[in-house]
Amino acid sequence: MTRALGLDFGLSGVRAAVVDATAGLVASAQAGDRVRVAGGRAEYDLPAAWRAMRSAIAELGDAARDVDVIGLGALGATPLLAAEDGTPLSPGLCFSLDTRADAERRALDPELSHDHALAKVIWLAERTPDAAWALDAVSWIGWRLTGVPAVDRITRLQYEHPGAACPVLMPPAIDPLAVLGPLTAEVGLRPGTPVVAGTLDSYVDVVAAGCTGAGDGCVILGSTLVAYGVVAEPMSAPGLELQAYPGEGWLLGGSTSNGGNVLAWARELLGADAADDAGGVEVLPYLAGERTPVRTPDARGAITGLSLAATGPQIVRAVIDGLALVALDHVDLILEAAPVGRWTATGGGVRDPAWLQATADAVGAPLAIAPLAGEGAGPALFALRAIGAALNLPGTGAVEPRPAEAARLRAALPGYRQRTRDLQEHP
């Protein structure tokens, strides 16, 4: 029996899950608050996240006290500055959701992704002159757990740009699948338990979903929607990003700024579930700007086709349709560049039948459900893979696309693309 504790630090709080390599999920817990995004600010409070982690571990009780390994994943890139001993001197600035360093980004390179962390470090350094370290959320958490300062090599790439140096020292780089060190922090777990370095949450989830070789594809239905295909060689595609990840090859695709966060907003605001049909209502779901493929952090959402006859459930359905088109836009661009023969879905959104089915319709192919998807188990599965544990988890089936819905979304894609690309000129 080999067990792992996974700690997932995300936009909606901290999730902790204990996973057995053969029996599956043993226990899970969640604590903490959703990150507030407003006025170009999206700050991650690391001390608050640490307290939430401790609460989640305490809720797991005995299930978490005898695990073989601990895995980490965190939202990112989320740079922060810290004192010599690792004490945070700034909040973490959440990737493209925090736009305050846009002038610094443009000065580095106008074509640089809004997710890139170096511009944010420059912005923070100007306001935090006593900082000794530049860290990311996942590296700060690892340091706090083990006493070992390090940053995984994939996250480190988010802080590099030709001809520009990071103005604050970063820790040494380490492989994300390597053991960072033994647990030394007193957090209610067994001291000495190996802690795997981990990396940014989307890459952790891709590997945990079993997408480890060329031709694999993954759609993550999380607070933000992510779609990647694994390719054997570096390549480029319009609007997409090429990323290193802890598997063979490269990831081609992208992370959006919108997903479950928009759907949760609509359902909470309207107090409604989705209708079967949107009744002519259309939604551009850009409530938090957008990353790939339009790269417009100032983008705003829009609802069109409203009438006095429109209902809350129809508007919620229109949000789901909009998110399905976001997925289709990414999948279509990936497939234009490289073959993907198998698609897998993971993330909390797999527990939302309407969103999951619409995503399968968008992909237009069977969408396999990753083991333990929606349970926050990605970092635990990642850690089990890191120590070479033999995973033997039961399959969870697949969702088949509905041909008529797949055709409807495909027909709507050109108009959707035109409207979203207009945002680049008129955000």
pLDDT digits (tens, 9 = 90+) for 17-26: 999 999 999 9
User: Do 325 and 237 fall within a single domain?
Assistant: yes
| Assigned token pair, 112 | 């640089």
pLDDT over 90 (residue 289): no
User: Do 182 and 237 fall within a single domain?
Assistant: no
User: Do 232 and 138 fall within a single domain?
Assistant: no
pLDDT at 71: 98
Domain assignment present for residue 285? The answer is: yes
Once rounded to an integer, what is the mean pLDDT over residues 93-109? Answer: 95
User: Do 179 and 198 fall within a single domain?
Assistant: yes
pLDDT over 70 (residue 426): no
Domain assignment present for residue 198? The answer is: yes
With helix as H, strand as E and coil as C, how does 193-227 read? CEEECCEEHHHHHHHHCCCCCCCEEEEEECCCEEE
Higher pLDDT, 128 or 420: 128
pLDDT at 115: 87
pLDDT at 425: 67
User: Do 305 and 411 fall within a single domain?
Assistant: yes
Q: What is the pLDDT of residues 140-186, one digit of tens each?
A: 999 999 999 999 999 999 999 999 999 999 999 999 999 999 999 99
User: Do 97 and 133 fall within a single domain?
Assistant: yes
| Segments forming the whole domain that contains residue 321 | 212-370+397-425
Domain assignment present for residue 153? The answer is: yes
pLDDT at 424: 62
Confirm if 379 and 6 have CB atoms less than 8 A apart. Answer: yes
pLDDT over 80 (residue 423): no
Confirm if 102 and 415 have CB atoms less than 8 A apart. Answer: no
Domain assignment present for residue 244? The answer is: yes
Cis peptide before 293, with omega less than 30 degrees from 0?
A: yes
pLDDT at 21: 95
> CA-to-CA distance for 172 and 77, rounded, in angstroms?
17
Once rounded to an integer, what is the mean pLDDT over residues 40-50? Answer: 97
> CA-to-CA distance for 9 and 6, rounded, in angstroms?
10
User: Do 339 and 403 fall within a single domain?
Assistant: yes
Domain assignment present for residue 381? The answer is: no
Q: What is the pTM of this model?
A: 0.91
Q: What percent of the chain has pLDDT over 70?
A: 99
- Crossing angle of helices 137-146/46-60, nearest 10°? 60
Residue (of 148, 183, 138) closest to 44 by Cα position: 138
Domain assignment present for residue 207? The answer is: no
pLDDT at 187: 97
Q: What is the pLDDT of residues 171-230, one digit of tens each?
A: 999 999 999 999 999 999 999 999 999 999 999 999 999 998 999 999 999 999 999 999
Give the number of domains in the chain: 2
Instruction: Look at residues 202, 236, 257 and tell me which one is the last residue of a structural domain.
Output: 202
pLDDT over 70 (residue 427): no
> CA-to-CA distance for 324 and 404, rounded, in angstroms?
14
Instruction: Look at residues 202, 228, 258 and tell me which one is the last residue of a structural domain.
Output: 202
User: Do 276 and 319 fall within a single domain?
Assistant: yes
pLDDT over 80 (residue 421): no
User: Do 148 and 236 fall within a single domain?
Assistant: no
List the CATH number of the domain containing 65. 3.30.420.40
User: Do 42 and 169 fall within a single domain?
Assistant: yes
User: Do 405 and 290 fall within a single domain?
Assistant: yes
pLDDT over 70 (residue 298): yes
Residue 375 CA, chain-centre distance (Å), reads 14
Instruction: Look at residues 144, 168, 202 and tell me which one is the last residue of a structural domain.
Output: 202
pLDDT at 144: 98
Residue (of 390, 369, 373, 370) closest to 4 by Cα position: 390
Domain assignment present for residue 190? The answer is: yes
| 418-422, long-range: CB < 8 A, 24+ apart | 419/284, 419/302, 420/284, 420/286, 420/290, 420/294, 420/299, 420/329, 421/294
Q: What percent of the chain has pLDDT over 90?
A: 89
Q: What is the pLDDT of residues 130-143, one digit of tens each?
A: 999 999 999 999 99
pLDDT at 345: 97
User: Do 193 and 233 fall within a single domain?
Assistant: no
Domain assignment present for residue 377? The answer is: no
